[in-house]
Amino acid sequence: MKTNQRNTVALCALFLLVACNDAADVNGSRAMGDAAINVVTAKIIYRPLVDEIEALGTASANESIDIQPRVASLIESIEFVEGQLVKKGDLLVKLESSETKAGLALAEAALAESRSLYNRNKALSDTHAISASGLEQLLAQVKVDEAQVEAARARLDNTLIRAPFAGRVGLRRVSPGSFVNTSTVITTLDDISTIKLDFSVPETFLTVVKDGMTIRAGSIVYPNRRFAGTVASIDTRLDPVTRAVQVRAILPNVDGDLKPGMFMTVELQRDRGDVLVAPEQSIVPEGDKQYVFVVADNVVEKRTVELGRRVPGYVVITTGLVEGEEVITEGTGKVRSGSEVNASGAAARETRDSAAGGDVSYADF
């Protein structure tokens, strides 16, 4: 009998112990469920969005020619120094012209004779000593001889090679006494007071590139320098293969640092204005939809958003959020709509990471 009583007491004690443990587990679970979840949040703000591209181009002189003679002859003298700056009309080369001068003298003599003959017969026309048709023939001969004189003078002018525009001459490739013809290059002449820079841009930037637009160009020759210029013209056609359009910009080159043929890079920007952005890590994709967890009064709301362009570290929000709202950037996997959270911003995050021995840096948008 006593043994049965002892067994009954032990069984009751066991039931009480199990009940107490269950109650403790329930209370513990409830306490854990009610605890706020630590998350990191960031504010939704407006930031400027600027598209940037880097185009490649080649520099060329504003004006550039090869100096070549118009007639075949010997070089009598060279009137320029290599690398010299010359003005328009300056004499560069004299060709041997003795034969040409003789031809001009012969033409002038023939003209003088025909004019004298015409003038004498014109005085006799009043007495009808010469017919009207005869006088007209003499006048025609005068005009022919005048043309011959003009042609001879032009040939003589061709023996003097002058600069067609202001610029800098290059290296000379001939010497005095050399025989030259119309295919011989004597030197080069370049106007590099301004530089033309031709480059191509994608068709998506057609609405951005405008005549008069300011650009910045760089060269590996001057790594720490940028050259400002303006867009002068845009080609009327796109390349059907690359879908790019040729653009020509003008760069002032007063100091002459830029040379024709230089390879240059061009920086172009397209300002899209201020846009609403969210940190990229705050976006939670589910199927074909995108969500964020918005925190208000330490309570989480799961919200659908529509996204625009992605830029490094951020994504443009087109609908679903307004400026000033806070979204969870760390801890999205621990929360659901209605969860209570203990939100900390970027400053708290940086402090916590520094305490853990980590360095955190935030890139500007």
Is 98 exposed, middle or buried (CB count within 10 Å of its CB: 0-12, 13-18, 19+)?
Answer: exposed
Q: How far apart are the first and last CA of the chain?
A: 85
User: Within the chain, which residue ranges are assigned CATH 2.40.420.20?
Assistant: 36-49+274-355
pLDDT digits (tens, 9 = 90+) for 163-202: 999 999 999 999 999 999 999 999 999 999 999 999 998 8
Please check the confidence at residue 359 and state whether its pLDDT lies above 70. no
Phi, psi of 194 (to 5 degrees): -130, 150
Q: What is the CATH number of domain 53-61+191-272?
A: 2.40.30.170
Tell me how crowded residue 269 is: count the other CB atoms within 10 A of its CB. 14
CATH topology of domain 69-96+159-185: OB fold (Dihydrolipoamide Acetyltransferase, E2P) (2.40.50)
303, HSE (Cβ side, Cα atoms, 13 Å): 21
pLDDT digits (tens, 9 = 90+) for 241-273: 988 999 999 999 988 899 999 999 998 776 777
Question: What token pair was written down for 17?
Answer: 């112990």
**Residue found under tokens 């112990």:** 17
User: Within the chain, which residue ranges are assigned CATH 2.40.30.170?
Assistant: 53-61+191-272
Instruction: Give pLDDT, residue 176.
Output: 94
Instruction: Give pLDDT, residue 131.
Output: 75
pLDDT digits (tens, 9 = 90+) for 209-224: 888 888 889 999 999 9
Instruction: Give pLDDT, residue 155.
Output: 93
Helix (H, G, I), strand (E, B) or coil at 55: strand
User: Within the chain, which residue ranges are assigned CATH 1.10.287.470?
Assistant: 97-158
Q: What is the CATH number of domain 36-49+274-355?
A: 2.40.420.20
30 band by pLDDT with thresholds 50, 70 and 90: very low
Q: Are 236 and 216 in contact (CB under 8 A)?
A: no
Please check the confidence at residue 128 and state whether its pLDDT lies above 70. no
Question: What token pair was written down for 274?
Answer: 């201020």
Instruction: Give pLDDT, residue 208.
Output: 78
The strand ranges marked E within 31-116 are: 37-43, 45-67, 73-78, 85-86, 91-95
Query: CATH second-level architecture of 97-158?
Result: Orthogonal Bundle (1.10)
Q: How far apart are CA 326 and CA 259, in angstroms?
A: 54
Instruction: Give pLDDT, residue 125.
Output: 67
Quote helix, strand, coil % in the chain, to nearest 5. 30, 45, 30
Q: How far apart are CA 365 and CA 314, in angstroms?
A: 8
Question: What token pair was written down for 38?
Answer: 């630590």
Measure CA 267 to chain center: 4
361 band by pLDDT with thresholds 50, 70 and 90: very low
Strand 37-43 relative to strand 341-344, pairing: parallel
Please check the confidence at residue 153 and state whether its pLDDT lies above 60. yes
Q: How far apart are CA 360 and CA 153, in angstroms?
A: 82
Query: Measuring CA to CA, which residue among 332, 328, 280 is closest to residue 307?
Result: 280
Please check the confidence at residue 8 and state whether its pLDDT lies above 80. no
